């Protein structure tokens, strides 16, 4: 099982991002929202640049642009000024306010500032949602989940409507715009009306528009968020976000049954997801999905010999690593190291659950890792491929092995926002990619130059 | 679009009298400035020093967002491409991060054997009160390399303050190396960051002129070179915002004169070489410089003709980090027959903006520290064919159906030197002439 992880004091080439970045992305998935960082100017700008390089979309994140005097006397005045300016320029429906390490440390009471703002400023104001995201605590995934939790906690309520369709909440975590589009399609195929929170499918993968949109259209509609307490059920992807989450709040406050499941990656995990949809909707698996599943199984058989026993290192956000490891285990690829910069304390347990006895040997599983640690372990593990985001490219290059790009960020290829990870269809794409990467390696290494494989 | 009231004084239109433009002030809250922070200013300047350890003391964000961020190449060690952080946790914030910093420094110096270490302070370090100066002094004694604090707390001013902090940090190195054997015809290159290998082009020009380069500050930079930079006879300063402070300091301390140059565009590149040759006053150098420029132009100008013909009459907008580069871009576009309708920068000075107003056509929008919505409204008011900027401006241009040329620190193309002018023309041409624009909605008839 898990060997001892390297234990360095310094962090080199981190395998995680900071909390406010995750919160900003989550806020981008809400209709009419502008993310706002209460801190100094640099945080917003750095994160904008980082996020733009993945999604290739305008990412406007406002900032209170605090200076030295605010750090000494408090940032309240600038927070309020910033909120007024954002309201004037963007006319947002909602402003998602995340703190930074600066404002958390100087002890700014954002809730109090917001109450004051509400009293001091007249006229119609956007909804304000606040989340505490000190970047010295947790990673971008805590920021993401905490922002979702705050949105639910602040906005969700009960709102009966007369539509005949069964309605559910899906809290998919940090997945791609393509994943969210596909989830919506799946839900529709089960005749379910899904509120997906957050929904970055349009806001972070927009169309070429006729006029420039100050806030990209799309995102989870606020009216729907307000009705999340009236839904039949909530489905939440991932297990490492801690006890308090959007789904658990909906269960506690409104009695909406919450089901936490593994990210549906691979056949087994997707089966469980679709079984659950069947149960909620009362419908059997639609023919279309039976077809997708059947073709996927067929391709598993066609491709299995090219990949059996190949050793993989999987890294990235914990829930994604869990999902990917489950997928690799069921196609005969051997994960030798599963690594994350996150530190939920649950990674090993959830990987065991996801691999479900499919692995002849257990991989090393380590939390709190950076790329220096991963690289150091990789030397002895001699992997055949890496599976993770584009920051592993340097390691893949050093080891001269293929990198299967998944997750966030993808900074060195087009289309990171369109990578499909979930369901039978996402698994199909990843499977083809993995098999082809292995075939390409063999073909490239061969002196013969096989033209049939 | 109406500007926010506080922003009105940061926009000027060429031809309006009198010239009024406010700049070098803190970004307005909620305006979504394209600027970063003090830390960013320091980090971009020191980043290319390739044999130094760059340790960011703070929570993970500041380090991870600047990991391998620049296209600054090295001909040797590549320590600068790694991202080092103390990754402060809640417990460090409560009890202080000095011990962790000390241990991290020892660990990393032992592992990588750098020639010096820069320790960047971030917002939080300024708040919890870690004494970076004391930690660095102590570690320096134990490891026998310079360990230099960079006072770059994000909130202590704007990006320009970060440039100053970086210059102050480098100033500690200068004057500590052996200067024997340096030619009287020698210079330091300040403010070129060797993006895509540009400094190698410039160094080759100086070599052909017979001028010795002592230190690259900071593209493909080395600690030992910077330590003997005070032995050079001249500082040539590009990107005036970032390293002019260092040039001034070296003038005061060591009497080294400096001149401002730009390596972008034909005119400015040639002018830079002639100015340097004339400074040294050596007839042989001057003759070799003339020869160099002649040779380069003989190759370049006929090739440029093609692009000039294709691009004449096209329109451009420019938004870059420093406004000194903007002059060169305005001139380079003029050479290609392209009209510049908007030009701005994150950190320009009043003098620079005044000069921009002097060289641009009436009606040109000149803007300091702008933001996405202002940029959008300027481009809607004055439609252009090409936008020159950085990654944060790219999606704005693309959503408006406008071509784009990356002239920021992430770029992978050489845009400096005579060859750089050709690459620039090619890049502008390949974006403007792409057939894809006919599908974007802005270009379609209803």
Whether the CB-CB separation of A73 and A56 falls below 8 Å is answered with: no
Residue B443 has pLDDT above 60, yes or no: no
| Reduced 3-state DSSP string for B298-345 | HHHHHHHHHHHHHHCCCEEEEEECCHHHHHHHHHHHHHCCCEEEEEEE
b/e per residue, A420-444, with b = 16+ CB within 10 A?
A: bbbbbbbbbebbebbbbbbeebeee
Span B121-133, mean pLDDT? 94
Is there a contact between B28 and A65 if contact means CB atoms under 8 Å apart? yes
CB contact B407 to A (< 8 Å): no
The CA-CA-CA angle for residues B341, B345, B346, to 5°, reads 150
B104 neighbourhood in chain A, CB within 8 Å? 9-10
How confident is residue B441, by pLDDT bands cut at 50, 70 and 90? Answer: low
**CA neighbor of B57 nearest in space, from B97, B83, B86, B81:** B86
Is there a contact between B82 and A105 if contact means CB atoms under 8 Å apart? no
Q: What is the pLDDT of residue A1?
A: 45
Give chain B's mean pLDDT.
95
How confident is residue B322, by pLDDT bands cut at 50, 70 and 90? Answer: confident
Q: Of A10, A59, A101, which is closest to B124 when you measure between CB atoms?
A: A101
CB contact B86 to A (< 8 Å): yes
Q: Which residues in chain A (58-87) have CB-CB distances under 8 A to chain B?
A: 58-68, 70-71, 78-79, 81-86
**CA neighbor of B417 nearest in space, from B238, B257, B212:** B238
B213's enclosing H/E stretch is strand B212-218
Q: Of A14, A71, A84, which is closest to B127 when you measure between CB atoms?
A: A71
| Tokens encoding A387 | 């599976």
Strands B186-192 and B234-237: parallel
Q: What is the pLDDT of residue B442?
A: 59
CB contact B117 to A (< 8 Å): no
Distance in angstroms (rounded) separating the CA atoms of residues B193 and B200? 10
Is there a contact between B155 and A61 if contact means CB atoms under 8 Å apart? no
Q: Which residues pair with A95 in a beta bridge?
A: A34, A128
b/e per residue, A225-260, with b = 16+ CB within 10 A?
A: bbbbbbbebbbbbbbbbeeebbbbbbbeeeebebbe
Strands (E) across A372-414 are located at 385-388, 403-405
- Residue-by-residue pLDDT tens, chain A, 453 positions: 457 888 899 999 999 999 999 999 999 999 999 999 999 999 999 999 999 999 999 999 999 999 999 988 999 999 999 999 999 999 999 999 999 999 999 999 999 999 999 999 999 999 999 999 999 999 999 999 999 999 999 999 998 777 778 999 999 999 999 999 999 999 999 999 999 999 999 999 999 988 889 999 999 999 999 999 999 999 999 999 989 999 999 999 999 999 999 999 999 999 999 999 999 999 999 999 999 999 999 999 999 999 999 999 999 999 999 999 999 999 999 999 999 999 999 999 999 999 988 899 999 999 999 999 999 999 999 999 999 999 999 999 999 999 999 999 999 999 999 999 999 999 999 999 999 999 999 999 989 888 887
- Domains of chain B (ranges; CATH) run 38-168 (3.40.50.1980), 186-290 (3.40.50.1980), 312-411 (3.40.50.1980)
To the nearest whole Å, the CA of B442 is away from the closest chain A CA by: 5
Whether the CB-CB separation of A334 and A361 falls below 8 Å is answered with: yes
A50's enclosing H/E stretch is helix A41-55
CA distances from A273 to A320, A350, B372 (A): 16, 16, 41
**CA neighbor of A404 nearest in space, from A319, A335, A356, A308:** A335
Distance in angstroms (rounded) separating the CA atoms of residues B143 and A95? 49
Phi, psi of A2 (to 5 degrees): -70, 125
Q: What is the DSSP string of A72-111?
A: HH-SHHHHHHHHHHHHHHH--SEEEEEE-HHHHHHT--HH
Q: What is the pLDDT of residue A5?
A: 83
Phi, psi of B362 (to 5 degrees): -55, 140
Q: What is the pLDDT of residue B284?
A: 98
Distance in angstroms (rounded) separating the CA atoms of residues B278 and B276? 5
Q: How many CB pairs (< 8 A) connect A and B?
A: 222
b/e per residue, A106-116, with b = 16+ CB within 10 A?
A: bebebeebbee
Query: Which DSSP symbol is given to A220?
Result: B
Whether the CB-CB separation of A18 and B88 falls below 8 Å is answered with: no
Distance in angstroms (rounded) separating the CA atoms of residues A71 and A186? 49
Span B60-68, mean pLDDT? 96
To the nearest whole Å, the CA of A138 is away from the closest chain B CA by: 8
pTM: 0.97
Q: Of A41, A52, A58, which is closest to B36 when you measure between CB atoms?
A: A41
Whether the CB-CB separation of B122 and B57 falls below 8 Å is answered with: yes
To the nearest whole Å, the CA of A135 is away from the closest chain B CA by: 6
b/e per residue, B22-53, with b = 16+ CB within 10 A?
A: bbbebbbbbbbbbbbbbbbbbbbbbbbbbbbb
Q: What is the pLDDT of residue B446?
A: 45
CB contact A427 to B (< 8 Å): no
**CA neighbor of B321 nearest in space, from B386, B409, B411:** B409
Return all residues near B153 (Cβ < 8 A) that are at least 6 apart.
Answer: B38, B39, B121, B122, B123, B125, B126
Q: What is the pLDDT of residue A342?
A: 97
**CA neighbor of B348 nearest in space, from B361, B372, B332, B330:** B330
Q: Of B68, B107, B394, which is closest to A9 when you measure between CB atoms?
A: B107
How would you classify residue A182: left for phi > 0, otherwise alpha for psi between -120 and 50, otherwise beta?
alpha
CB contact A352 to B (< 8 Å): no
Whether the CB-CB separation of A279 and A328 falls below 8 Å is answered with: no
Interface mutation target, options B8, B32, B125, B157, chain A, most CBs of A under 10 Å: B32
Is there a contact between A67 and B157 if contact means CB atoms under 8 Å apart? yes
- Domains of chain A (ranges; CATH) run 19-155 (3.40.50.1980), 166-281 (3.40.50.1980), 289-445 (3.40.50.1980)
Lowest-confidence pick of A152-166, A348-362, B141-155, B160-174: A152-166
To the nearest whole Å, the CA of A358 is away from the closest chain B CA by: 35
CB contact A209 to B (< 8 Å): yes
Rg (CA), chain B: 22
Residue B86: closest C-alpha in chain A: A10
Within its chain, how far is the Cα of A372 from the centroid?
A: 23
How would you classify residue A24: left for phi > 0, otherwise alpha for psi between -120 and 50, otherwise beta?
alpha
Is there a contact between B391 and A49 if contact means CB atoms under 8 Å apart? yes
């Amino acid at each position: 099982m898990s060997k001892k992880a390297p234990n360095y004091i310094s962090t080199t080439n981190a395998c995680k991002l900071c909390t406010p970045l995750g919160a900003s992305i989550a806020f981008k998935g809400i209709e009419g929202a502008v993310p706002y960082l209460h801190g100094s100017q640099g945080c917003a700008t750095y994160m904008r640049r980082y996020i733009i390089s993945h999604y290739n979309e305008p990412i406007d994140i406002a900032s209170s642009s605090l200076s030295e005097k605010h750090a000494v006397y408090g940032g309240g005045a600038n927070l309020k000024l910033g909120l007024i300016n954002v309201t004037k320029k963007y006319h947002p429906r909602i402003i998602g306010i995340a703190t930074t390490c600066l404002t958390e440390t100087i002890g700014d009471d954002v809730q109090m500032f917001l109450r004051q703002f509400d009293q001091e400023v007249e006229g119609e104001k956007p909804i304000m949602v606040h989340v505490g995201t000190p970047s010295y605590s947790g990673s971008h995934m805590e920021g993401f989940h905490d922002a979702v939790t705050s949105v639910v906690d602040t906005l969700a309520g009960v709102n009966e409507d007369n539509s005949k369709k069964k309605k559910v909440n899906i809290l998919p975590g940090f997945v791609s715009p393509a994943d969210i589009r596909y989830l919506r399609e799946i839900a529709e195929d089960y005749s379910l009306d899904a509120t997906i929170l957050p929904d970055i499918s349009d806001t972070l993968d927009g169309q070429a528009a006729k006029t420039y949109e100050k806030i990209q259209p799309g995102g989870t509609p606020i009216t729907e968020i307000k009705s999340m307490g009236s839904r039949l059920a909530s489905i939440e992807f991932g297990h490492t976000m801690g006890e308090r989450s959007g789904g658990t709040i909906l269960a506690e406050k409104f009695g909406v049954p919450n089901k936490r499941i593994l990210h549906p990656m691979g056949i087994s995990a997707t089966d469980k997801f679709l079984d659950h949809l069947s149960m909620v909707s009362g419908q059997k698996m639609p023919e279309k999905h039976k077809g997708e599943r059947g073709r996927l199984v067929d391709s598993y058989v066609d491709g299995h010999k090219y990949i059996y026993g190949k050793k993989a290192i999987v890294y990235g956000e914990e829930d994604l690593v869990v999902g990917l490891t489950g997928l690799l285990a069921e196609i005969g690829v051997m994960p030798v190291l599963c690594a994350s910069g996150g530190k939920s304390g649950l990674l090993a347990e959830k990987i065991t659950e996801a691999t479900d006895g499919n692995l002849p040997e257990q991989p090393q599983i380590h939390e709190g890792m950076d790329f220096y640690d991963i690289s150091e372990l990789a030397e002895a593990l001699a992997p055949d491929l890496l599976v993770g985001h584009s920051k592993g490219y340097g390691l893949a290059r050093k080891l001269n092995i293929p990198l299967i790009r998944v997750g966030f960020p993808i900074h060195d290829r087009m289309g990171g926002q369109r990578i499909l990870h979930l369901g039978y269809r996402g698994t199909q794409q990843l499977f083809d990619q993995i098999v082809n990467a292995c075939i390409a390696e063999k073909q490239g290494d061969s002196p013969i130059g096989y033209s049939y494989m | 679009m109406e500007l926010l009231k506080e922003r009105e004084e940061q926009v000027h239109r060429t031809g309006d009298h009198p010239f009024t433009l406010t700049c070098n002030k803190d970004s307005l809250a909620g305006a979504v400035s394209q600027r970063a922070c003090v830390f960013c200013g320091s980090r971009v300047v020191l980043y290319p020093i390739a044999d130094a350890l760059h340790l960011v003391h703070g929570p993970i964000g500041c380090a991870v967002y600047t990991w391998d961020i620049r296209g600054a190449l090295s001909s040797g060690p590549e320590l600068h491409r790694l991202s080092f952080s103390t990754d402060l946790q809640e417990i460090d914030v409560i009890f202080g991060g000095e011990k962790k910093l000390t241990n991290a420094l020892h660990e990393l110096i032992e592992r990588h054997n750098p020639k010096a270490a820069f320790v960047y302070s971030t917002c939080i370090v300024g708040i919890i009160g870690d004494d970076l100066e004391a930690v660095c002094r102590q570690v320096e004694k134990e490891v026998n390399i310079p360990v230099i604090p960079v006072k770059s707390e994000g909130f202590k001013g704007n990006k320009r303050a970060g440039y100053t902090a970086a210059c102050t940090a480098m100033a500690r190195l200068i004057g500590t190396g052996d200067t024997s054997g340096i030619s009287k015809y020698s210079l330091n290159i300040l403010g070129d960051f060797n993006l895509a290998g540009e400094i190698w082009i410039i160094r080759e020009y100086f070599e052909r002129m017979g001028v010795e380069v002592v230190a690259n500050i900071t593209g493909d930079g080395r600690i030992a070179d910077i330590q003997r930079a005070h032995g050079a006879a001249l500082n040539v300063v590009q990107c005036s915002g970032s390293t002019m402070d260092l040039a001034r300091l070296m003038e005061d301390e060591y009497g080294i004169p400096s001149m401002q140059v730009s390596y972008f565009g034909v005119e400015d590149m040639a002018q830079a070489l002639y100015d340097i040759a004339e400074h040294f006053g050596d007839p042989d150098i001057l003759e070799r410089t003339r020869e160099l420029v002649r040779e380069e132009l003989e190759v370049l100008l006929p090739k440029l003709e093609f692009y000039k013909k294709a691009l004449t009459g096209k329109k451009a907008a420019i938004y870059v980090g420093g406004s000194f580069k903007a002059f060169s871009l305005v001139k380079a576009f003029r050479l290609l027959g392209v009209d510049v309708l908007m030009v701005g920068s994150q950190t320009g000075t009043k003098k620079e903006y005044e000069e921009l107003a002097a060289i641009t056509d009436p009606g040109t929008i000149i803007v300091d520290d702008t933001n996405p919505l202002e940029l959008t409204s300027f481009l809607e008011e004055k439609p252009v064919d090409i936008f020159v900027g950085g990654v944060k401006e790219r999606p704005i241009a693309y959503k408006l159906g406008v071509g784009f040329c990356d002239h920021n620190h992430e770029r992978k193309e050489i845009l400096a030197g005579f060859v750089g002018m050709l690459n620039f023309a090619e890049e502008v041409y390949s974006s403007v002439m792409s057939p894809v624009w006919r599908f974007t909605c802005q270009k379609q008839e209803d």
